[in-house]
Structure 1
């Protein structure tokens, strides 16, 4: 049975009674987070990435307008929906909040039924938007991330690795003799085999930052942030072994009577050097070429063959 994760709502209000009332109102249907001032709102928004923020305008340390401005300036929180809840009831106050990027504006004292209806409406929009974003980022055949999504995540993780000085690992996976497989068994069988390999690759990406993507044709990409050479090699080798363990017959292969993959990868620490994002990709591609030249069904990593 699939468990649907409850959407998260952050209630930000300096009035403890308002926080309590809104929190109790929302708890039966949503995961509720509470913040009592602007600084706490920004910290919890960044840490928890809620689906929606109910934001008081008048707070002593930092007003809601400034909080919203800072949320929109941070790429991590820029797209979080915000509903202002305010005692400022002039039309120009509401217009100002909406111009700044709020999704809605509710005047205090609020009606609980209206609050619940508007929260439900905006969270439905959030769900629909994320569904469309997901579809736009997914390869239709393998259900892995597509090239567009990979490019976005690769750029993000490259910059993160450069700031942190932590290693970034990338692997390219290619199904051995896949043209011969399609010629022998037909393209529908080839599609099924590719989906099976994709499931293995996707299952190996176990941490939130890891990403398996389809590069094109029968080639897949494995992006592993904060992963050193040893750990990346182990993941890649586990993928290679798991694909062989699928026992998909490939009698037309010159490598083995079963479907196999070749993997090339590289790990780079780019904190202080002049490396470019393309350098890691080119290094991984070079190792994939070496794995193929050495007989396929192998993992090579920056010139080192996996045990």
Structure 2
């Protein structure tokens, strides 16, 4: 595989979302990847990896693949282990994985499906068959994504809703507890939002909420970070594997990004434009404690930020 192919893979997953489905092809033999590339390049955004390690790195980016075609037998991390790791990660567990292999016995197929694969294709691939199967699984994923959007997306702002956040914080708490990793939470409140609504009207208030939500979401660069509307003019950000200091820095960026929108707010006692107050809390989840301590600490930090003059970040470790 050439260096340019590797570069294209990394750049593509960081690019803006495309209309064409994104496929990740993983095989240690460049010739095998080229066969699949020729089949899909015209109608898909195609990215390539020649090792399990590189495949995992490409899936730790902002724009994830919509489907992965994954070789089973590879040096180092084989396809089965790559699949298991992707399925264990909340950010990548819903990506459909089709195994492509020269091994065709029933035991190999069973192992592939048990690892989390959705399908199993034998080499040499039949172009018509592999295209049909990829199309089927992409359609199923699109339908699943739509259903999740209906359930978990806030209708006004387009970011995650409270229900999605409540589920995510429990999942990430357990995951960070198992890995001995920190979990950080922001609670964000738009300063003097009632006065904004009173002065400009609820239609402009809704537009303000949408712009602030987008600004907050765009500050979170990792696929497993979550921005959600908590209720009213409050938002939350959940950052797994992020400690208090890194969280504080990111929260300052969120605060600055909202102020940089320069949305006029003549009714604010804090600034001439819309601003936010942010409470940051971080914890290393432990057995015997729950995510509610993180929420309580972030809420207390938010109260401190508002009491100290607003348009600022306050932070504290969770008890």
TM-score of the superposed pair, with normalisation by structure 2: 0.68
Correspondence 1:1-307 to 2 at 5 A: 4=18, 6-8=21-23, 19=32, 23=36, 26=39, 28-29=41-42, 30-31=46-47, 51-53=67-69, 74-76=87-89, 79=94, 80-82=96-98, 111-271=126-286, 274-302=288-316
Structure 1 residue 282: deviation in Å?
Answer: 0.5
Structure 1, unaligned runs of 5 or more: 60-66
Q: Which runs of 5+ in 2 are unaligned?
A: 1-14, 60-64, 74-79
Aligned-residue offset at 1:216: 0.8
Shift of 1:196: 2.0
What's the offset of the Cα at 1:78? Answer: 6.1
The aligned length equals: 285
Q: 1 CA distance for matches of 2:155 and 2:147?
A: 13
SS of the residue 1:231 aligns to: helix
- Counterpart of 2:265 in 1: which secondary structure? coil
Deviation, structure 1 residue 173 = 0.6
C-alpha contact (below 8 Å) 2:185/2:282 kept by paired residues: yes
Q: Per the alignment, in what secondary structure is the counterpart of residue 302 of structure 1?
A: strand
TM-score, scaled to structure 1:
0.71
Deviates more, 1:108-117 or 1:194-203: 108-117
Assess, with a 3 A threshold, how the Cα gap between structure 1 residues 236 and 267 changes in structure 2: closer, same or farther.
same
Q: 1:274 to 1:87 in 2, by over 3 A?
A: closer
Task: Report if the CA contact (8 A) 2:255-2:276 is conserved.
Answer: yes
Superposed displacement of residue 220, structure 1: 0.5
Aligned mates of 1:208, 1:237 — CA distance in 2: 20
d(CA) in 1 for partners of 2:123, 2:254: 56
